[in-house]
Amino acid sequence: MENNLQLYKAEKVFTGSEWLSQHTVVVSHGKIVELLPSENISGKPVSSYHLLAPAFIDIQIYGAYGKLLAVYPEADSLHKLYTYCSEGGASHFQPTVATNAFKVFYKCIDAVRAYWEEGGKGCIGLHIEGPWINPIKKGAHTESFIHSPTPGEVKELLEYGKGVISMITLAPEVCSKEVMALIRSYNVIISAGHSNANYEVATAAFDDGISTATHLYNAMSPLQHRSPGMVGAIFNHPTVMASVVPDGFHVDFSAIQIAKKILKERLFVITDAVTETSEGENPHHLSGDKYESKGILSGSALTMAKSLRNLVNLAGIDLDEALRMVSTYPAQAMQKANTMGRIEKGYDANLVFLDELLEVKRLING
């Protein structure tokens, strides 16, 4: 075989759609060029593992190792995030900044650009969560920054963040159709969240092009039998996807089971992970296996690998579907399903190797 090929053998390979036994992934220049039975490979594998799967993708995470991006809007924070995500099996991540002053958003945009200029890997863009949300469902967000946007301020932010901002979480009931159309015109994905929208308003927003919802159940109008709310609208919509935080604190594992039965391939995982900080608008302090801000649940202490284990061991979700929830489906939510989230010829070589306990043994990123 050619000298520039890397061979990765595993007892079991999950491609994103099927299980294969004793197969080898052949990689060249960061791309998957073949997926073959190991008996057909003459070269010596670089590595051999128990389980090989598409690398995970975390599209909502705020900071790691004591450096919250909103507090330290600099490239080093993103390098630390990449290390944290990689250790948890994620080759790609979408750093997130919650409701804050606009000068913080601009600095975070600058940080992403600087990270990319330094050759930083894995960052797929910036997720801005708020401030165009409903104060009734603010959670741990700072209320003084929350407001309904004008088209002018939205355009100013989008222009500054062109090519960097990849997702905005907002409450559709506090944003005009003009504003939401403007955001989509910049190829920015809109996620509905921190919203008190009723069923009708939420459904109309999904019909108009909002394609995802942020942390299902949390900070949104609940499903009640006479008022189905945003949760009901998500459940009943044919296409909208929703993220969920599987730590047992944000959502009971039985509620994840219920959502999975209804949403099927529309439900995917985020860690919503923060890090210890006493500075900034949202100080986060570790309380057991979760973070709190001013006594309010403010983020998880998850990695994507821990999320996977929780789905399988505590939510009773089959391993193949749990693997899709941390890789294939987030890629779909980010409109990147043609390049990542699967092990197929022509896809980016983003691979995670796991042992029998679903612990990460190695990560390959392109």
Q: Which residues contact 21 (CB under 8 A, 6 or more apart)?
A: 11, 12, 13
Report CA-CA distances (Å) from 65 to 68, 86, 179, 235. Answer: 8, 13, 36, 36
Catalytic: 272? Answer: yes
Query: What whole-number distance in Å separates Cα of residue 337 and Cα of residue 328?
Result: 7
Return d(Cα 132, Cα 193) in angstroms, integer: 10
What length does the chain have?
A: 366
Q: What residues does 192 pair with on adjacent strands?
A: 170, 213
Cα angle at 321 between 311 and 354, to 5 degrees?
A: 70
- Write out the two tokens for 185: 């015109």
Is the bond leading into 238 cis (omega within 30 degrees of zero)? no
Instruction: Please calculate the CA angle 110-116-117 and round it to the nearest 5 degrees.
Output: 85
For tokens 């003084």, the residue is 144
Structure tokens at 213: 């919802």
Question: Which residue, chain included where needed, has tokens 């109309």?
Answer: 204
272, 289, 320, 355: which one is catalytic? 272
- The catalytic site residues sit at 272
